[in-house]
Amino acid sequence: MPYQYEKDGAAIYLESFATIRAEAALDRFAPDEEQVVVRMIHAAGLVGLEAHVKVAPGMVAAARDALKQGAPIFCDAYMVSEGVTRKRLPADNDVICTLRDSRVPDMAAQLGTTRSAAALELWRDRLEGAVVAIGNAPTALFHLLEMLEDPACPRPAAIIGCPVGFVGARESKDALWAANPVPSLIVEGRLGGSAITVAAINAIASRAE
């Protein structure tokens, strides 16, 4: 017996986003922020996520402008980089994850940190004006903040800081929000992850739903 269900992809998206906008508390977000938060909720399947999302003033505009100017997107994990929808990128932007670089294991050992954190050291020469997306490793976000404490370190245009987990995730995001080195977006607490981070990137890259 055939099941009765919606088979039109466009219709599914329309109904999904309409449901989110009907049920979520989005009033505190500016229009460009709302579009990003809606896609994050959609990726998580969680109305209520919006209560934990914090977006610095001008963050969406800063990230969107950077991408339009051709800035690269640096990602802490391949689950993030592989999720970016290339056709949404406005300038055929490079999407970069350095986690598998052969130099990373030795760097991690020398620095006494995780590979996810050490891999960020390979971003320095292209970090200026870039968009950074941390969706997996709190150690990567902490290391980025340590890098940015150096006045000589190039500054990205914006940071999406949404690492997930039970050890360091909350603390790393709180630290990013408190330090405010550049306009940032975070999901407070333990929530976060690659899918939510990718949704934010894709929404910033293109307003199309």
Active-site annotation, residues: 42
Rounded alpha-carbon distances, angstroms, from residue 81 to 98, 132, 143, 163, 206: 10, 11, 19, 14, 16
Query: How far is the CA of 55 from the CAs of 24, 120, 175, in angstroms?
Result: 16, 23, 14
CB 140, CB 160: distance < 8 Å: no
Residues forming beta bridges with residue 131, ordered by sequence position: 73, 158
Name the pairing type of β-strands 53-55 and 184-187.
antiparallel
Cα separation values, 24 from 18, 50, 51, 130, 164, Å: 10, 7, 9, 31, 22
In three-state secondary structure terms, 188 is coil
